[in-house]
Structure 1
Amino acid sequence: MRSQAEMMDSREEVLALTKQLVAIQSIVKTEGEKVMAHSLYTLLSSFPYFTDNPSQVTIEQTTNDELERYNVLAFVKGTKCESHRTVILMGHMDTVGVDDFNQLHDYAFMPDEWMEHLQKEDIPTSVSEQLQSGDWLFGRGALDMKSGLASHLYLLKYYAAHPEELEGNLVFVAECDEEDGSHGILSALKTLKSWKETHHFDYVAAVNSDFVSPRSEGDEKRYIYKGAAGKLLPSFLITGAETHVGDAFDGLDPNFIAAELTRQISYNPELCNEALGEITTPPVSLKQTDLKPSYTVQTALSAYVYYNFFIHSWSPKEVLEKLKGQAHIAFTNALDTFAEKYRAFCEISRQPYKTIPWQPRVFLYEEMEELLIEAHGDPFIRHMDDFKQSLLHDDSLDTRMFAARVVEEAWAWMEDKSPAIILFYSSLYSPRIELTGKTEDERHLIDALDFAVKSVQPLYERPIAVRNFFPYISDASFIALSDDDAGIEAIENNNPGWGTKHYVQYQDIRDINVPVINIGPYGMDAHKRLERVEMTYSFEMVPNLTNLVIKGVLGK
């Protein structure tokens, strides 16, 4: 066991770095992201090690990005012995916005002043107790995740000053845009690949430092995560049969089908993915709307709905197969309910009942596209290519609405336009990562993590627990890839914006493919006004846990 004297004395420096980072207003998709990157680059460049080795720190603009923003990367080469083994320390620089602070938004970036102000506010008793304890730091990004980035900075600075203690190499990645589209880490992969070839780095482990929180009320555990949950955005365009509202049963309202679809999918435990003894939260609707451009007294032609969907072991291909079945169930239920209501209406209005002409129809986007190419050939292909290019000029369309417009346009070429559901993906896929010990590098990382927890736990009063899947969206998903080619092809073939509005080079991930864990700061209310981080665990235990993992992995 390590004694207290052997622990790195990190608290005050990590605290100072955290406050320094929080003071920079690096809200995602604002100029602050640029300011943050340049400030961090200036800080790193001031370290004597990087003054002597300026080529080992870089600031790089993201690629295929509509905005100008940057990543900051650096590396330290250890001199303890000759080794190509390399650990990546990664974390994001951006934060969510501060609208929740209202007129007090400036306080969000001044932790000391904000905590002084909170002394005068009526806040929940538990939060007040934490505030009074002196062991909690409040402010936007204090938890998510500038304290985690500060921990990595502390370790990078230490080994830059003591490369003789480092057996192998340490790479630091501070990426932008984690809170939106992950352009940062996806761009950084190119540099990591280049360094791998140029400097012969053997990437054997990565440590992300995103925040962790209680998993339920009263949960006292501080979690470390191996691997990460995957995140998909399955989307559905629903077409109906338009009718005047005065003749409601002469048509089929797509909103009616959409409502049944959401009832079938949202909160459905059958769509929770269990793996390694852990289970995902069920999907839930993130948007549901029709696509009528303005008010009319006719029912909508189409509706659009998409759902958050977490996975542990299912592939994107399996998710499509499962959801196609769920959509068929929902469509069938909607038609049965429609017929039941229509029959009841006919009875009370003394009108003759006519058999409903529609049947459930569900297509994957790639299935519909194949039908249309077979029916129309090159004219359809050229038209859709031109249509996608024209949509790129519409800045009001995000990737999700872009995809919906493409599906809507393709549907116009269908000869049979009876009601249908088209299933596709409309946003970034954050890949799932399973860390099970299947490779030598995974086994070494797991062993190093186990040793780190056993060594640090006696020095901390709360239980430190290891779980298999980081439960939130994280850039760690883009460091390793557990999906096979068929899973990735399902993403590419069923995203209507693929190659135009949206594109990810998943091969870059496969080329890095380094086992990753998350050792992050502990706190509460991330993305909320009372966001706060516990300092003892986050500023003392986290750097030491991470350092022990670095030593354990590089010492193999």
Structure 2
Amino acid sequence: MNWNTESQLEDLICQLVSWDSRTGTEGEILFPYKLKDELFKLDYFMDNPGFLELHDAGRERNALSGLYRSGQTDRTIILISHFDTVHTKEFGSRSRFAFSPRELTQHFRENMNDFSGEVEEDIKSGDYLFGRGTMDMKMGLALHIHLLEKAIQERWPVNLLLLTVPDEEVDSAGMRTAVEKLDGLKRKHGLDISLFLNSEPSFTQRPEDPNYYIYSGSIGKIMPSALFYGIETHAGEPLRGLNAYYMASFLNQKMEFTDAFSEEEYGEKTPLPLTLKSYDLKEDYSTQTSHHVASLYNVFTMRQNAEDIFVKYDFLAKEAMKECQEQYETICRRENTRPVGQIRTMSYRELYEYTLKKLGAEKTDAILDIYVDRDDLDDREKSMRIANRMVTHCKELVPLAVTLFAPPYYPSVNASEDGLIRDIVGYTKSYMAEHHSIDPIEVHYFNGISDLSYVTYDSHDDSWETYRNNTPVWDRTYTVPFEEMQKLQAPFINIGPFGKDAHKLTERLHRKNAFQVTPELLENILKEFFWEA
């Protein structure tokens, strides 16, 4: 076997990490081709080449699926992972080691004085393997490859479908594409999905946290955003206009750390919202005030859907602009100056319909096309530019705040109450305690955000229409396959290796947990719950 022993698993993770696949790079494009070639080392895929498939995820990227079909049952476990990693700017002069785990680990041992506290202790222990992607999440992929090979070699009486995708770290384009393909794979191969198994790593919940976590849900993330369109003026005559920065400051302050969206489930709380980005659409410097500013806000969810969030957000935006207007008018009275206008607040849907009525379908579509076709802009920038251009054609509306959604959107999902998941959690706790003296802690909402958000979407929820209607790039450069997601009704769980410091210079993987403990655990779970006599 190629990927069975502890040393073979270490060789595998080092190989996967050496294939630099940072999001948006050439390496991300090449990775699935390299992995496909690697999987052809198994005679099973040489005999069944149609069971290894690439799935177009846009921008030359591909997801890869690899199917083991037992021939004894339709019951199928979907093994979900992502192979892209975040970038490595923080490595600085150490960049040459970032994708060489053994070399980087040795380099850190030779330079321990650069670190202190917990990191230094972990380097000294020899228990950790350092490197970009070791923890998040190429070891999860390595574990799935291990399971796939073992199932093939030992002819397990259950089907495994390995599904590894690009772009989890930015927009999850890979998983959103894969979801659309899964229904076709189900029908093509006659699969009955029994479980989605993700193996994102066990994230620490606080500094120096030694606990091992498993996850029966994944937190949601959504980005309510706003375009503030004021009235330009010369900086020498500030009150003859209305600065968009001034407008934005009211909503930025109201959104930052608000508890308006807070949720608590199973004793877990959503992190508070904050402003992820606030910027000027004016590209040059001049003494003209800015009349168009964009802000993007991060909101985490548990039970709330897109409509719940937008209703609250739109209300906060209206309150913020009301307060802005009141303070602005107070200043005008103090300076004995007439206000330049009354601030309006409109949703993107309202702005779109207003523009459509004024300009007609052809001209409105042309506005969208201008920005949709620009490869130099990401979906967030395109969203703001589209709204901005619409307002430019409807200047009678200004000063104006436009509320909208900017990609990406990760719906929250939870399987904590599912009977099978309860049994798997219980089994995991008892197995780990008996065999490894580890007491796993169940977290009901994985706080690292994951591709599990795109499976098992509530089959009765139609609130996604609010998201669709208020996302300027919807169905052009960005979409979420809600209807396909609603078809994927199966329990899910996230059990992966223990590591520390994801997305940091000191990202590292616990060797014993990754190469011995977790492989044994996952194999035993599959045998306990999915083998048929």
Contact residue 227 and residue 470 of structure 1 kept, 8 A: yes
Contact residue 283 and residue 308 of structure 1 kept, 8 A: yes
Report what 2:100 is aligned to.
110
Contact residue 445 and residue 553 of structure 1 kept, 8 A: no
Matched, 1:513 2:489: yes
1:51 counterpart (28, 42, 46)? 46
Contact residue 219 and residue 302 of structure 2 kept, 8 A: yes
Report what 2:30 is aligned to.
35
**Which amino acid is the alignment partner of residue 97 of structure 1?**
H
Which stretch of the first structure deviates more once superposed, 129-138 or 383-392?
Answer: 383-392
Report what 1:397 is aligned to.
377
2:434 counterpart (458, 461, 465)? 458
Alpha-carbon offset, residue 40 of structure 1: 1.2
Write the distance in 2 (CA, Å) between the matches of 1:205 and 1:168.
11
Write the distance in 2 (CA, Å) between the matches of 1:477 and 1:449.
20
Write the distance in 1 (CA, Å) between the matches of 2:133 and 2:519.
18
Report what 1:62 is aligned to.
56
TM-score by length of 1: 0.90
Write the distance in 1 (CA, Å) between the matches of 2:420 and 2:220.
23
Partner SS state of residue 184, structure 2: helix
**Which amino acid is the alignment partner of residue 51 of structure 1?**
M
Report what 2:420 is aligned to.
444
Alpha-carbon offset, residue 518 of structure 1: 1.1
Deviations 1:461-490 (A, max 9, x none): 443111111112211212221374432111
Contact residue 230 and residue 310 of structure 1 kept, 8 A: yes
**Is the alpha carbon distance of 1:387 and 1:336 closer, same or farther for their aligned partners in structure 2, counting shifts above 3 Å?**
closer
Contact residue 240 and residue 253 of structure 1 kept, 8 A: yes
Write the distance in 1 (CA, Å) between the matches of 2:232 and 2:77.
59
Deviations 1:317-362 (A, max 9, x none): 1111111111122222223333444445x3xxxxx364x4644532
Partner SS state of residue 369, structure 1: helix
Alpha-carbon offset, residue 405 of structure 1: 1.2
Write the distance in 2 (CA, Å) between the matches of 1:116 and 1:96.
22
Report what 2:137 is aligned to.
145
Write the distance in 2 (CA, Å) between the matches of 1:68 and 1:496.
24
**Which amino acid is the alignment partner of residue 104 of structure 1?**
R
Write the distance in 2 (CA, Å) between the matches of 1:106 and 1:468.
38
1:73 counterpart (62, 65, 84)? 65
1:361 counterpart (326, 344, 351)? 344
1:472 counterpart (425, 448, 453)? 448
Give the unaligned 5+ runs of structure 2.
Answer: none
Deviations 1:70-117 (A, max 9, x none): 2221121235xx321111111111111222222321211111111111
Which stretch of the first structure deviates more once superposed, 12-21 or 528-537?
Answer: 12-21
Partner SS state of residue 462, structure 2: helix
Contact residue 445 and residue 549 of structure 1 kept, 8 A: no
Q: Please show how residues 236-315 of structure 1 align to structure 2 within 5 Å.
A: 236-315=226-305
Alpha-carbon offset, residue 161 of structure 1: 0.4
Give the unaligned 5+ runs of structure 1.
Answer: 1-7, 347-351
Which stretch of the first structure deviates more once superposed, 205-214 or 182-191?
Answer: 182-191
**Is the alpha carbon distance of 1:167 and 1:449 closer, same or farther for their aligned partners in structure 2, counting shifts above 3 Å?**
farther
Partner SS state of residue 51, structure 1: helix
Write the distance in 2 (CA, Å) between the matches of 1:483 and 1:313.
14
Write the distance in 2 (CA, Å) between the matches of 1:371 and 1:432.
33
**Which amino acid is the alignment partner of residue 238 of structure 2?**
A
Report what 1:3 is aligned to.
none
Which stretch of the first structure deviates more once superposed, 26-35 or 420-429?
Answer: 26-35
**Which amino acid is the alignment partner of residue 498 of structure 1?**
W
Which stretch of the first structure deviates more once superposed, 386-395 or 148-157?
Answer: 386-395
Write the distance in 1 (CA, Å) between the matches of 2:158 and 2:232.
66
Alpha-carbon offset, residue 415 of structure 1: 6.2
TM-score by length of 2: 0.93
Matched, 1:135 2:135: no
Write the distance in 1 (CA, Å) between the matches of 2:459 and 2:283.
39
Write the distance in 2 (CA, Å) between the matches of 1:546 and 1:137.
21
**Is the alpha carbon distance of 1:9 and 1:22 closer, same or farther for their aligned partners in structure 2, counting shifts above 3 Å?**
closer
**Which amino acid is the alignment partner of residue 421 of structure 1?**
A
**Is the alpha carbon distance of 1:196 and 1:61 closer, same or farther for their aligned partners in structure 2, counting shifts above 3 Å?**
closer
Report what 2:390 is aligned to.
410
Matched, 1:554 2:522: no
Write the distance in 2 (CA, Å) between the matches of 1:181 and 1:415.
33
Which stretch of the first structure deviates more once superposed, 14-23 or 477-486?
Answer: 477-486
Write the distance in 1 (CA, Å) between the matches of 2:376 and 2:63.
26
Contact residue 4 and residue 146 of structure 2 kept, 8 A: no
Contact residue 230 and residue 430 of structure 1 kept, 8 A: yes
Q: Please show how residues 186-201 of structure 1 align to structure 2 within 5 Å.
A: 186-201=176-191
Report what 1:182 is aligned to.
172
CA RMSD of superposed structures (Å): 2.2
Contact residue 179 and residue 481 of structure 2 kept, 8 A: no
Partner SS state of residue 297, structure 1: coil
Deviations 1:190-234 (A, max 9, x none): 432222112221112111111222111243221111121111111
Which stretch of the first structure deviates more once superposed, 129-138 or 426-435?
Answer: 426-435
Alpha-carbon offset, residue 61 of structure 1: 4.2
Write the distance in 2 (CA, Å) between the matches of 1:30 and 1:307.
27
Which stretch of the first structure deviates more once superposed, 118-127 or 306-315?
Answer: 118-127
Which stretch of the first structure deviates more once superposed, 124-133 or 356-365?
Answer: 356-365
Contact residue 15 and residue 147 of structure 1 kept, 8 A: no
**Is the alpha carbon distance of 1:116 and 1:415 closer, same or farther for their aligned partners in structure 2, counting shifts above 3 Å?**
closer
Alignment: residue pair count: 528
Contact residue 227 and residue 403 of structure 2 kept, 8 A: yes
Deviations 1:163-190 (A, max 9, x none): 1xx2321111121221222222222234
Matched, 1:222 2:212: yes
Write the distance in 2 (CA, Å) between the matches of 1:540 and 1:104.
29
Partner SS state of residue 308, structure 1: strand
Report what 1:431 is aligned to.
411
Partner SS state of residue 318, structure 1: helix
Q: Please show how residues 135-174 of structure 1 align to structure 2 within 5 Å.
A: 135-163=127-155, 166-174=156-164
Contact residue 236 and residue 421 of structure 1 kept, 8 A: yes
Contact residue 89 and residue 171 of structure 1 kept, 8 A: yes
Matched, 1:545 2:528: no
Alpha-carbon offset, residue 547 of structure 1: 2.3
Contact residue 431 and residue 482 of structure 1 kept, 8 A: no
Matched, 1:386 2:366: yes
Contact residue 242 and residue 291 of structure 2 kept, 8 A: no
Write the distance in 1 (CA, Å) between the matches of 2:521 and 2:491.
17
Write the distance in 2 (CA, Å) between the matches of 1:316 and 1:541.
39
Give the % identical residues: 28
**Which amino acid is the alignment partner of residue 302 of structure 1?**
H
